[in-house]
Amino acid sequence: MPKRSASAKPAPAKKAGKAGGNDALAAAFDELKFYEMKSTNHHAAVAYDKVAKAIRAHKSVISSGAEMASTPGVGKASVAKIDEFLSSGKVAKLEEFRSTWGELPEQVTKTMKSGATGKSAKPSKTKPVPAAVVKKIKAAQTNYEAKSNDTLKTLLRQNGGKVSGTKAELARRCAEGQVLGAFPKCPLCHAGKPQLDFKTGEYKCPGYMDDDKWAPCIFKGELERDKWNE
């Protein structure tokens, strides 16, 4: 067995939290963002979203919070959380959220790497809605336009769809539901109605009315749809 040279030194231990690079750090702020949204603290959720994006946009591996201190949108509290994560691999606030709310739904955690870059980046699994499916929806819309507004709204209500808008919009939603399935609930805010982007195949939740003010949601990702009930 060869002897190690007396001058050889063991490799320095890596700080906790650095093994995953900036993506692991950004994912921690993504989690904070989603938990704040679940607790209806939308202002904090938007703030954490900015921090997560700033971390992913940083060109080198972050070794201390000081590196992000001058970045727009990254405040003192976030700098402290960055240092906390880099030194221990944990953030006390995040651990508190996990203990209180439990683990986030799988549909939510899937979106955490959507903004990742580098080796850990994963291409989105969503694909544009096929032209043949779009054509099928348009054909179904013609049939639904022959029905009354009340009938269309009843169908949408029993399938989780939005009931506001013109008759053409109502018929369009019913046609989408008949072809693709009932409208899914937002797994993050639980109150908004995610909308399908036909160009990307991705669902995005705009938010919902909370009493007399609009509460935005930041969920986007894949969702499954149940069978259309008619």
Q: What share of the chain is helix, strand, coil (3-state, %, to 5)?
A: 45, 5, 45
Please indicate, yes or no, if residue 145 is contained in any of the structural domains.
Answer: yes
Q: Give CA–CA dist 205/44, Å, rounded.
A: 18
Q: What is the pLDDT of residue 8?
A: 43
Please indicate, yes or no, if residue 174 is contained in any of the structural domains.
Answer: yes
pLDDT tens profile 52-74: 999 999 999 999 999 999 999 99
Q: Please tell me whether residues 62 and 26 are part of one structural domain.
A: yes
Instruction: Domain of residue 70: give its range.
Output: 21-120
* Positions in the chain whose pLDDT score sits under 50: 1-19, 114-123
pLDDT tens profile 137-160: 999 999 999 999 999 999 999 999
Q: Please tell me whether residues 39 and 109 are part of one structural domain.
A: yes
Q: Please tell me whether residues 90 and 36 are part of one structural domain.
A: yes
Residue 80 sits in a domain whose CATH number is 1.10.150.110
Q: Please tell me whether residues 30 and 85 are part of one structural domain.
A: yes
- Average pLDDT value for the chain: 85
Q: Please tell me whether residues 181 and 211 are part of one structural domain.
A: yes
Q: Which residues are catalytic?
A: 81
Q: Give CA–CA dist 69/66, Å, rounded.
A: 5
What is the SS3 assignment for 202?
strand
> Exposed e or buried b for every residue in 44-75, given b needs 16+ CB within 10 A?
bbebbbbbbebbbeeeeebeebebbeebeebe
The residue from 86, 120, 154 where one domain ends is 120
Q: Please tell me whether residues 71 and 147 are part of one structural domain.
A: no
Nearest of 53, 63, 62, 57 to residue 30 by alpha carbon: 53
Please indicate, yes or no, if residue 215 is contained in any of the structural domains.
Answer: yes
Please indicate, yes or no, if residue 3 is contained in any of the structural domains.
Answer: no
Q: What is the pLDDT of residue 109?
A: 77
pLDDT tens profile 14-24: 444 444 579 99
Total number of domains constituting the chain: 2
Please indicate, yes or no, if residue 226 is contained in any of the structural domains.
Answer: no
